[in-house]
A = this chain, B = another copy of it.
Amino acid sequence: MTETIEDTDAVDLLDALVQLSFAVTAVLTKAAARHDLSLTQLRMLGVLRGREPKMAELAAFLGLDRSTVSGLIDRAERRGLARRTGSPDDGRSVRVSLTAAANRLAVDLVAEIGRSLAPMVDRLAQDDRRRLTALLARLLGPLPAA
């Protein structure tokens, strides 16, 4: 019996996690679309904020193939959002960074996304928001989840 109760709980949590993930993804996708960006370009913007990784590092961050990221950065460069710089030390590697316009866009997007998620977040009192944040932090902790 206890086993059944535990199983049910676990399923409920998994379900809630997946539903939340879809809900948040929908919000992010719409926010990006308002600026003619795909979800992938939005993620790229987020990863590149304050960083200047090599192409291979960016690919690893995004969980994408290097060839995919080549095309991604091609299109971002064409739109004036990203920039490629050759490394002085290693003639093979290329560093990617955001343009000033892209940084401004990223700031706007963060604000917009906050406003879009507010109706959800506002359903919790401040105490519960803190509790939820703490629980999620533990969930995300040292996660080598595959």
Residues of A within 8 A of B (CB): 6, 9-14, 16-30, 43, 63, 113-114, 116-117, 119-121, 123-124, 126, 128-133, 135-141, 143-146
C-alpha gap A44/B143 in the complex (Å): 28
Residue numbers in B under 8 Å from A16 (CB-CB): 132-133, 136-137, 140
Partner of A17, one of B117, B138, B145: B117
* 15 extra A-B contacts, CB within 8 A, seeds A23-B143, A132-B136: A13-B121, A14-B113, A17-B121, A18-B28, A20-B139, A25-B25, A27-B145, A30-B146, A117-B145, A119-B143, A120-B140, A123-B141, A131-B135, A132-B139, A135-B135
Residue numbers in B under 8 Å from A114 (CB-CB): 10-11, 14
Are B131 and A23 in touch, CB under 8 angstroms? Answer: no
Contacts A113-B14, A117-B14 hold; do A9 and B141 have CB atoms under 8 A apart?
no
Are A123 and B136 in touch, CB under 8 angstroms? Answer: no
Are B119 and A144 in touch, CB under 8 angstroms? Answer: yes
Residue numbers in B under 8 Å from A141 (CB-CB): 123
Are A146 and B13 in touch, CB under 8 angstroms? Answer: no
Interface centre among A24, A114, A139, A141 (most CB of B within 10 A): A139
Are A145 and B119 in touch, CB under 8 angstroms? Answer: yes
C-alpha gap A12/B133 in the complex (Å): 7
Q: What residue in chain B is nearest A31 (Cβ atoms)? A: B146
Are B121 and A10 in touch, CB under 8 angstroms? Answer: yes
